[in-house]
Structure 1
Amino acid sequence: MSQAYEETTDPRRRPARTPAVRDNNRHQWEKDRARQPLAARARTGATERDTGLHTGDLEFVTAYRRTEATAELAEAFGVPEGTPLLERAYRTRHAGESAPFSIVTSYLRRDLIDGNPDLLDEANEPWPGGTQSQLHTVGIEVDRVEERVTARPARPLEARELDLPPGAPVLRLRKTSYDIHDRVVDVSFLTLPGDRTELRFTTRLERW
């Protein structure tokens, strides 16, 4: 934890941190980009959209790990326990700040993505266009995204990584993506710091 956070828990005295606004329109934005040319997809990404930063302002770290479905993940995907999965951990931060915008862990079914070996290699990250573009390379079209949000105090490891005072609030977001065949194709867990994250939802109603 940084010295600034050790010295005080008064939010008025903490260093200013880049805010991030996450809204549900981002999913359609990502889908619209999935089939765009590489040059168009490479110009910007979801974090830039959420923060207003430029790609050059960001530092991105990822780690892939081959794993198997736990009971929780097996239920989420609708597959047997032990089904091969790809676990992907993401951290993106402003180059001038010490903490990432969030802690992200995403899971994909191996049997759905093995057709494109590039999807199994973390060296190809950040992938222009994100997960929907990756899934598009193996013929998967995302139909809908379900997000569930809860709030709780940060756990000690989370507080250290997100540079938060002990017990500071975090938002826990579980994102489930379904394809046009109603299969779960991505399950992601995000831990978002409460001091810099705004969740914004727009509900469009059909006209009479």
Structure 2
Amino acid sequence: NEALIINGKQIAKEIREELKKTVDSWLASGRKRPRLSAILVGNDPASEVYINRKVKAASSIGIHGETILMSPDIKQEELIAKIKSLNADPDVDGILVQLPLPKGLNEKIACETVCPTKDVDGFHSENLGLLSTDSEGFVPATALAVRELILRSGIETLGRNAVVIGRSKHVGLPTALLLHANGK
């Protein structure tokens, strides 16, 4: 029962290098460059920084990342129409809607509108349902990062107890579900 310091920066670097090799191989086989469309509604500075990091990370591994800026005073119908147009676009492989959305916009409706097969955040109920049954689907990034840190650090979770602080649908619950799946 010793404490272990995990070098998250080194693990993240290794993951980025692996992903870049995968994308390079994908492109070398004649396939099209993957495209991530990130929707940012409003002008929340923290959301702007976060989404810029996501798009930059995608670009650094060879994925075409784009930010779609939308006015903070758009109507729900306009946001839904934009998501549906990205769902229908065969050139778009992944969609994320940066949360939180401005007041007056329903996040659940927005997340449920994203096609589950393009839902890179893993927030659609279909992906969360797949996660709850230990099935394949998109997994929220923070939960996946926690699992990768544990796996790549050689920490054995089988038969162990884990405490997850928080119960949000986007971090706490998915992290607990992933740890549960790894413990079987």
**TM-score (ref. length: structure 1):** 0.23
Identify, as 1 or 2, the structure richer in helix. 2
Identify, as 1 or 2, the structure richer in strand. 1
| Structure possessing the higher relative contact order (Cα contacts under 8 Å, 6 or more residues apart) | 1
**TM-score (ref. length: structure 2):** 0.24
